[in-house]
Amino acid sequence: GESVGLHLPTLSVQEGDNSIINCAYSNSASDYFIWYKQESGKGPQFIIDIRSNMDKRQGQRVTVLLNKTVKHLSLQIAATQPGDSAVYFCAESSFNKFYFGSGTKLNVKP
Amino acid sequence: NAGVTQTPKFRVLKTGQSMTLLCAQDMNHEYMYWYRQDPGMGLRLIHYSVGEGTTAKGEVPDGYNVSRLKKQNFLLGLESAAPSQTSVYFCASSPLAGGQETQYFGPGTRLLVL
């Protein structure tokens, strides 16, 4: 999975399957976490966020899980669709600064 | 409501030339940021602003200057472009202190320095 500062891994899934993208963060003081989707040639787009006082948050087809004990964040996409193909990256926030992971490329096979 | 816009979308410069990238937001956000994105790397913060008339250095400020004369605009300047500044530049804005509210990104400016 992805880690803030590492190179770009790739995840390939079949259309209709669930996708899980992982992210490890390093700063224990981080109190706010965000997942972004970035399509080719476009700016990052907000997907879902979670604050450090929560361990799970659900949106439409997406769920973010936060495990502060091991400093791990994951994004689950249900029933993955071709339109979900993009680079996904996490961001952590500490003291008004954001730190971004390099991203995971999601390929959805029809 | 256009959100965050960036001008230009693409630019080619020769080493030593100067240019200014313009970011504009119409959401009345206090915070604005400039990032660069390089292949295989996460977004890196260049400079940011917590309000009109204020600027601060980020992670990679060298070779760049910024100005926030109006709340809705945040300018990024390159005084003497270098090939190492070839990158995609993203502007973002946020309504509150960045720690508790997401940032909204512009579409990016692709800069090639020859």
* R_g over Cα of chain B: 13
Residue B37 domain-assigned (yes or no): yes
Q: In which domain, by residue range, is B40 found?
A: 17-96
Q: What is the pLDDT of residues A46-101, one digit of tens each?
A: 999 999 999 999 999 999 999 999 999 999 999 999 999 999 999 998 776 788 98
Structure tokens at B27: 């959401």
The answer to whether position B27 is within a domain reads yes
**Any domain includes B51:** yes
- Give the model's confidence band at A6: pLDDT under 50 very low, under 70 low, under 90 confident, else very high: very low
How many domains, in total, are found in chain B? Answer: 1
**CATH code at position B26:** 2.60.40.10
- Strand, helix or coil for residue B83: helix
Domain limits at A46?
2-109
At residue B72, the 3 state secondary structure works out as: coil
Q: Is the pLDDT of residue B65 over 70?
A: yes
Residues of A in contact with B35 (CB under 8 A): 100
What is the CATH number for A97? 2.60.40.10
Q: How far apart are CA B40 and CA A90, in angstroms?
A: 14
B contacts of A49 (beta carbons < 8 Å): 102
Residue B9: DSSP 8-state: S
CB contact under 8 A, A97 and B45: yes
The full DSSP string for B86-114 is: -EEEEEEEESS-GGGS--EE---EEEEE-
For residue A108, pLDDT beyond 80: yes
Looking up tokens 């399957």, which residue turns up?
A: A17
pLDDT tens per residue, range B14-39: 999 999 999 999 999 999 999 999 98
